[in-house]
Structure 1
Amino acid sequence: MLPREPARRPQLGFLYVHPYRIQGISIAGEESAVHVPELDVCFDIGACEKPMLTAKYVALTHGHMDHSAQIAYYFSQRNFQGMGTGTLLCHEQLEKPIHNLMNAWVDVEHQRTPYNLIPMKHEDELEVKNNIVLRAFETRHTVPSLGFVMVEKRSKLKDEFVGLPQEKLVELKAGGTAITQINEIPLIAYTGDTAWGPHFERGDVMNAKVLITECTFLEPGDHKRAAVGKHLHLKHVADLVESSTAEAVVLTHLSRRTHITTARAQLDKMIPAHHRQRVHLLMDSRTNRQRYEAQVAAAETAGSASAAAE
C-alpha cells in the first residue's frame, strides 16, 4: 500500500466586508496572522504567507509563538524582495526581547536585517495612513498583551459655524477660535488572545465596522478551560454581539480539535438568530467562499442593471 500524501497547508481564510479584505490563518496554538491589505496592516505574525509581506505594519498582540513566530522572516523577506523596511508594533515589554531576537539572527545569518520596532502602551496611537491611526488598548491574557483598533479621524466644521461665510470662518480661525472638531470612525478592531474584560466596553472596539476577536472555545463544557487560559468562550461572543454595532464579527483562534461543522452548529445554537448573519468564522472556507460568490454575483447583477439604465 502506498503512503499517504503529506497533509496540505490550510487555505487562507478570506472574508470581504466592503471595502476591506480580511484574510489570514488562525488556529489556536499553531499560528495566527490576519491581514487587511487596504489598511497596510497585518495583525500578528505567527504565519507569514506571501500576501502578508505587503503589509507595511505588523501589529503584534502578544509574544506567544503562534502569534509571533515569523517576526524575523517578515522583516527579512520585506528586505530581500525590495519591499521596504517592515515595521512592528508591540507591547512595550516586548521591545527588548524582540531586539534581542533580531540580534540573534545576525549571528545565525552573518548579516543584519533592517527593521523598525515601535513599542506601544495603552491608548498609544500611530498614523499608518492619511488620517487613519492604529490605536493600542490593554487586553487580558496570560502574558503582556494588547489589542488594536484602526480609527479614521475626520475633521468637521462645528455645528455652530455651519452656514457662515468663508471670510467669517477665516477671521474666526485667525483669532484663535477652534472652528472644527475631530470625528472618529472606528474601522477594524482586533483583540488578539484575551479573556473577557473592560476592553469589550470601549466604544472604538464595539462600534468598529469589523470586529475581529478570538473565540478559542465553543463547547458547553469548556468555560473553565477558557477562564484558565484567559481566552473567550462562545458564550462571551453571544453577549458581545448584543452590544456591538459591527457589520461583521469575525471569529479567530479556534482549536483544531473543533471541527468546522461543529463550530457552525454551535454558532447556530448560541448566537441569537437576528445576529447570526453578522458572525463569521475566519477559517470556514466553504461558507466564506459561498458568501463571496454571492457578493460577486450581486455586484455583477448591479453592474448589468446600471449599464442597462444608461
Structure 2
Amino acid sequence: MSVQAGESWNHSKYKFHGLSLSGIRTAISMPELSLSFDVAQGYPFLLNLKQFFISHGHLDHAAGIPYIISQKAMTSQPPGKFYMPGSLVEPLDQIMKIWEKIEDHQYNYEFVAVQADDEIPLNAQCYIKVFPTTHRIESYGYTLFEIHKKLKKDYLGYTQEEIVDLRRQGIEVNEVSHIPVVSFTGDTQIEFLDSRPWIRQSRILFLEATYLDEKKSIEHARTWGHTHIDEIVPRLKDIESEKIVLIHASSRYSDREALHLLKQKIPAEYRDRVVLFPGR
C-alpha cells in the first residue's frame, strides 16, 4: 500500500485532487468532471468547479460553501450547484442571508436536497447516485456511475445501414450497463457497506478510516459516527474495488505514522489495493 504524496492521485483514467484529515478538512474533487465531494474550507482548487456533493454539515466538510459562493460571484461565474442532506438546506440558506446582510450584497446560489437513491445527471455518459450513510447527523455518500453501451450480440456483423434501419423501427440494438466507478462515503459507521451493493462494486472506493490503532476503540468510533480500521479489515474480502482509498484519518497520526499502522493492520494480500489519501 502507499501514501499519496501531495494533493493529487489518479487511478486508470480517473483523476482526483484534494485533502482529507478528520476534524480539519475533507474535499475530494474530480476536476475533469467539474465536481467535488465535500468542500472543506473552500480551497482554491474548488472555486471553478460547477457541482458540489456535500455528505453532511460538519465544518470540516462544509464550511467552504459560503466562500465558494462569494468567489464565484466575484469572478462572474455562474453559481455552483450544491447537493446536500435536506436538513442542511434551510440552515445554510439562513447563513447565506446573514452573510448578505454583513456584506450588503445579494448572492445567487442553489442548494438541492438529496435522498437515498436519487440520481443526478452529469452528462450523457455519467451520473451521481446517492446512498445512505450513518453519522451523528443526517449524511449521505455519493457514487459516480458511467453508462456504457455496446451492440447486442444478436446484431454483431450487421452493417451500419442495417443498424440505423433497426433504430428507425424503434428496436433497441444496444445493451446498456451502469458501472459504479467512484464511491465517496463522507463520515459514517461501517454499515454503509451493506446499504447498497454497488458501493462495494465501485472501481474506486473512498472510505473513511478515522482511527487506526487501539488508543481509540471501535466503540468510541461508533459513538461518534466514525469507522475504525479494525472494522474495515474483516470487510476487505467483501469489497470488490480495484482501489480502496482511505480518507479522514485522525489528525493524531502523521501520514508516516498512519502508513506504518496500516501496514501492520492490513493483510499482505490486500495492501496493493489500499491507498492512504493525504490530509496535510
TM-score in terms of structure 1 length: 0.81
Q: Which residue of 2 aligns with 1:291?
A: none
| Contact 2:19 2:279 (C-alpha < 8 Å) held by counterparts | no
**Structure 2 counterpart of 1:246, one-letter code:** S
Letter in 2 for 1:127: P
The structure-2 alpha-carbon separation of the partners of 1:17 and 1:165, relative to structure 1 and needing over 3 Å to count, comes to closer
Q: Which residue, 189, 192, 197 being the options, matches 2:191?
A: 197
Contact kept? 1:37, 1:54, Cα under 8 Å? no
Deviates more, 1:122-131 or 1:200-209: 200-209
**Cα 1:89/1:214, change in 2 over 3 Å:** same
| Aligned residue in 2 for 1:36 | 30
Relative to structure 1, is the Cα distance of residues 18 and 176 closer, same or farther in structure 2, using a 3 angstrom cutoff?
closer
Residue 94 (structure 1) aligns with: 88
Tell me the CA shift for residue 282 of structure 1. 1.1
Matched with 1:251 is 246
The separation in 2 between residues aligned to 1:41 and 1:200, in whole angstroms, is 26
Q: Choose 257-266 or 54-63, whichever is displaced more.
A: 257-266
Corresponding residue to 1:281 among 263, 269, 276: 276
Q: Which residue is equivalent to 1:117? A: 111
| 1:62–1:144 contact (8 Å) kept in structure 2 | yes
State the one-letter code of the partner of 1:277. Answer: D
Provide the secondary structure at the position in 2 that maps to 1:79: helix
Rg (Cα) greater in structure: 1
Match of 2:171 in 1: 177
Give 1 or 2: higher helix fraction. Answer: 1
> For structure 2, which runs of at least 5 residues remain unmatched after alignment?
none
> What pairs up with 1:131-210 in 2 under 5 angstroms?
131-200=125-194, 202-210=196-204
* Cα distance, 1:176–1:244 mapped onto 2, change above 3 Å: same
Tell me the C-alpha RMSD between the 2 structures. Answer: 2.2
Q: Does structure 1 residue 272 correspond to structure 2 residue 235?
A: no
Tell me the distance in 2 between the aligned counterparts of 1:79 and 1:15.
Answer: 30
Q: Which has the higher contact order (CA 8 A, sep 6+)?
A: 2
Counterpart amino acid of residue 251 in structure 1:
L
> Is 1:222 equivalent to 2:238 in the alignment?
no
How many pairs were matched up?
275
5+ residue gaps in structure 1?
A: 1-10, 286-310
Tell me the TM-score normalized by structure 2: 0.89
1:108 matches 2:105? no
The amino acid across from 1:261 in the alignment is R
